[in-house]
Amino acid sequence: MNLDRLWKLTGENRDTFKQTQNLYFSRIGLNLFKDIQNFEYWCTPMNSLTFATTGGDGVHFGFLSDDGEINDNCPIVMTIPNADMPNTIVGENLLEFLSLGCRYGFFNLEQIVYNFKKQVALLDTKEYPQEMEAKEIELLKTIENEFLLKPWDNHIARLHQLRQKYIHNLKYSSEYYEVFS
């Protein structure tokens, strides 16, 4: 499975890892969770199994799965508890999600929700940000090379397609509906 390959890039095995989070990719906003489970924020879809967090403001990434099982074909949802629209589909699968973040990292992906046009314009450049440190670029290239990733083309169209295809599959708790009623 691709998640296991991602873990191997950290030099660790998820099955024998002792802590709850692997911080190897923390500089690029991709802290991997040892246990893949629902993060249980009020806005986390009930059918989302969280595999990573950015490490900031509760932002996390999860596999969408109706049967509680994950595989390489599960769509990826980004949950941002502080946002007015807290859930965004950010990949048809893990590889497409990793491709989305392969230039700008994963911490700034939340800006897709807060400042859509600006963030999409930055992502569409397919360049590393000028302020990005060499170690961060090295980490992104490690992931990119392992999975033979290519940055997305036309982020607006792809994000719209993913939303249209998967957003109605999200299942929420009664607490979610209480907040939005």
- 77-121: pLDDT as tens digits: 999 999 999 999 999 999 999 999 999 999 999 999 999 999 999
Residue range 7-30: mean pLDDT, rounded = 94
Residue in the structure block whose two tokens are 């963030």: 119
**How does residue 174 score in pLDDT terms, banded at 50, 70 and 90?**
confident
Side-chain half-sphere exposure of 81, counting CA atoms within 13 A: 14
The reported pLDDT for the residue numbered 176 is 85
Cβ neighbours, 10 Å, residue 85: 10
CA distances from 32 to 23, 25, 79, 112 (A): 7, 8, 15, 21
Rg from Cα positions in the chain: 15
| pTM of this prediction exceeds 0.75 | yes
